[in-house]
Amino acid sequence: MSYELIGISVLWLFLYGYLIVASIDFGAGFLAFYARLTKQDHLINRLISRYLSPVWEITNVFFVFFYIGIVGFFPDTAYYYGSALLVPGSIAVILLAIRGSFYAFENYGSKKNIVYLFLYGATGLLIPASLSVALTLSEGGFIVEQGETVSLDYWALFTNPLSWSIVGLAIVSVLFISGSFLAFYASRAEDHSALKLMRNYALFWSTPTIILALTAFIYLGQHNERHFQNMMDLWWLLALSVAFFMIAMWLLNNGRRYGLAFICIMLQFFCAFFAYGIGQYPYILDPYITIQSSATSPSMGFALVVVFIGGLCLLIPSLILVFKLFLFDADYVKGKK
Amino acid sequence: MAIDTVLWSRLVTGMTLGFHVIFATFGVGIPLMIAIAELIGIRKKDPHYTLMAKRWSRGFVISVAVGVVTGTAISLQLALVWPNFMKLAGNVIALPLFMEVFAFFFEAIFLGIYLYTWDRFKNPYIHWLLTIPIVAGAGMSAVFITTVNGFMNQPDGFVMEAGQFIAVNPVQAMLNTATFSKVFHVLSSAYLTGAALLAGIAAFTMLRKGVSAYHKKALNLMMAVVLLFSLLNTLAGDVSAKFLAEHQPEKLAAAEWHFETESGADLILLGWLNAEHEIIGALHLPKVLSFLAFGDFNAEVTGLEEFPLDERPPLLVHYLFDLMAGIGFALLAISFLYFLFVFWKKRNELNKWLLRVIALSAPLAFLAVEMGWFYAEIGRQPWIIRGYMRVEEAATSSPNVRILFFLFLLLYIVLGIMCVLVLRRLFHNNPAELEMEKWIKEKPNQSTEKGEPAR
């Protein structure tokens, strides 16, 4: 396997990792705000802040990691995406900045400020929306290249149903993933009232998630025939994804084994996300950038893979330690430690 | 003069980095202070030091949050605002950028664990051990990112062919000739600034509320660190000057207003230039520049006139350089004076004037960091990769960058104000002495505190 293929696979895996951890985080922010509005915050706020406080920084790193990785392995992406995404990218940066710092202000600094909570909740939905623009761009047709200048065709972007369905999908899946994770966390904490609330959120958001996933898929077929056909060839991955979704729904509905239900949801997104990614091969940005044409020099690719393996040897044990201390330590989750 | 997109791009990046460097310096410097305080607290069984570690880490996490988000901003701006730069240089600098993220990842993981496991372990040393990956991660991310800056000053480890970098050797690019002096100077000044800040806070509190045991210990400890790192930082500055003289003479010449190549060159302090580029009202130290640059009073120093007009850095950097170096020496003098008073019993080291000067040294240290970075960056103009790519070839051509400048400006103003307000609230309403009393009362049933953040 060539290093650029290893590179893109690993990066895609990291993007998937970010999708899961960030969804939990983004959704939790919104759910906390929503619970405050509906006066149910006493049920879940402690739960959310207990999980999020030790890990919020890690979530952010996942994103930077993916981003630095992709411009490292494929410097051309920096040129095209960088030029085209100047505005949406900067907006995402500003939202991330507001969110990250206000989380810290709220949780480590002063307590119980509704403005902070609103900013935290609202940005939690706006960030996935603004980040998903990059995904839409990769389908091609939204970037105009005139001589030396690369720019984004906003009109095409805003009038295209594909971009809106991707934005919608990003938002509802954030809420779905987050709700089901927090239901699992609440069940570990044996916090029954929070569990009930979170289970309802998860069940509620499951329907729009699957509907919008289908819608986005259909619009993708109209927008990018090649990508659609490639994904159809991977029909078994998509079928697996739907199967995992059904199992997760059945488990959530029966109200047992929330851990397994969350794993099924992770697998559901894993299958769909990889079917999407493999189907896009060999393009990173249709039709300007392919994986082969934009790869960095072989020596740099090799160095990056080496550093990557070395880094993982440090990271994985540390992440396991975090999980042991804050996620699977029953006493901590219940609030006794 | 109309401001074009290139200048707006420079302004956006300069502003982001100027804001980020405050919090990045916190981020590198403070963990070491926390680690030192906690270790002394455990060894001496003195709860004052443990409280110091707790209070500092509480303030630290607020500043880290701002550091993280502005760091994310700058890493994205690299591609958003300088797409051509990343397209060309991405082939060479991807490795250190990637390693920087790993180091930061590592730090983030252990910072989360550290904050939430006070008193969770029976052996206090285990909790202290968690500070090691934090200090190391913070230091290493500074090292890696500084190698990128070193590369932009002294490009190395590639062959240029038809506008592309080929035959790339990423490790050689990282270990370019600028790296050592830069890393040394960045680390020593970050630790110096962190200590100066904490010493300044202790001095300021004692000025307002009188001397207390807690603050006296904090001041003593931090002044010792200031003294140590002032010495190292002076050495690092000297190493940097010698590096510049050899490899980047135009930067040193611009900083010193040294126009004509000559041996036994004078060092010029302050002053100003008239229309004919003659220096007025400056203090000349004969032959000192030659000594500074080569360790020899009669060595020949290259002047600015050796370089074509369009490759000369702006002459304004002279003031930035003087200010940075002046503050560096002032910090060394202040810490030296403090310990002179401590050991010479006739003088009280906690007298009002000395405390005032120490309190003032905290903002001065940050000013020096800013001035140093502005000198290093403006002194490299007009190049973005010295000798290979000019700044105007690298910037985005999108006119939207002007609007973004104001958006980011607004963001940093809000973040800066909020950060100060939150920190004030965190410490103002909860003085150390009060917390100490509460803490001692609670000590018998300490288990209630387990796993909670240190508040």
Report pLDDT digits (tens) over B155-185: 877 777 777 777 778 787 788 888 888 899 9
The fraction of chain A above a pLDDT of 70, given in percent, is 90
Q: Chain A contact for B407, CB < 8 A?
A: yes
Lowest-pLDDT choice from A107-111, A113-117, B178-182? A107-111
**What's the pLDDT score for residue A109?**
61
For B384, phi and psi rounded to 5 degrees?
A: -100, -40
Residues in B closer than 8 angstroms to A325, CB to CB, are 113, 116-117, 120
Buried b (16+ CB within 10 A) or exposed e, B159-173: eeeeeebeebbbeeb
**What's the pLDDT score for residue B349?**
67
Tell me the torsion sign for CA atoms A122, A127, A133, A136.
Answer: negative
C-alpha distances out from residue A195 to A186, A190, A191, A315, B235, Å:
5, 8, 6, 31, 60
- For residue B417, how many other CB atoms are within 10 A of its CB? 10
Q: Chain A contact for B171, CB < 8 A?
A: yes
Q: Chain A contact for B424, CB < 8 A?
A: no
What's the whole-number average pLDDT of chain A? 80
pLDDT at B452 over 60: no
Q: Chain B contact for A245, CB < 8 A?
A: no
**What's the pLDDT score for residue B1?**
44
Q: Are B331 and B193 a contacting pair, CB within 8 Å?
A: no
Question: Which of A25, A90, A308 best tests the B interface by mutation, with the highest count of B CBs <10 A?
Answer: A90
Q: Which of residues 97-136 of B touch A (CB under 8 A)?
A: 97-102, 104-106, 108-113, 115-117, 120, 133
pLDDT-derived band of residue A334, with 50, 70 and 90 as boundaries? low
- Chain B CA closest to residue A312: B102
0.95 surpassed by complex ipTM? no
Identify the CA nearest to A31 among candidates A123, A107, A121.
Answer: A121
- Report CB contact under 8 Å: B396, A83: yes
B276 Cα to chain A: minimum distance (Å): 40
- Report CB contact under 8 Å: B98, A72: yes
- Report CB contact under 8 Å: A93, B73: yes
pLDDT at B129 over 90: no
Tell me the torsion sign for CA atoms B133, B139, B144, B145.
Answer: positive
Q: Are B193 and B366 a contacting pair, CB within 8 Å?
A: yes
Q: What is the mean pLDDT of residues B404-419?
A: 88
**What's the pLDDT score for residue B275?**
63
Identify the CA nearest to B53 among candidates B175, B167, B221.
Answer: B221
Q: Which of A60, A79, A102 sits opposite B72 (nearest CB)?
A: A60
- Report CB contact under 8 Å: B105, A63: no
- CA distance from start to end of chain A: 47
Which residues sit opposite B280 in a β-bridge? B272
Question: Which of A64, A325, A326 best tests the B interface by mutation, with the highest count of B CBs <10 A?
Answer: A64
Q: What is the mean pLDDT of residues B103-117?
A: 83
- Report CB contact under 8 Å: B450, A337: yes
Residues in B closer than 8 angstroms to A123, CB to CB, are none
What's the CA gap between A2 and B284, in Å, rounded? 61
pLDDT-derived band of residue A1, with 50, 70 and 90 as boundaries? low
What's the CA gap between A322 and A337, in Å, rounded? 14
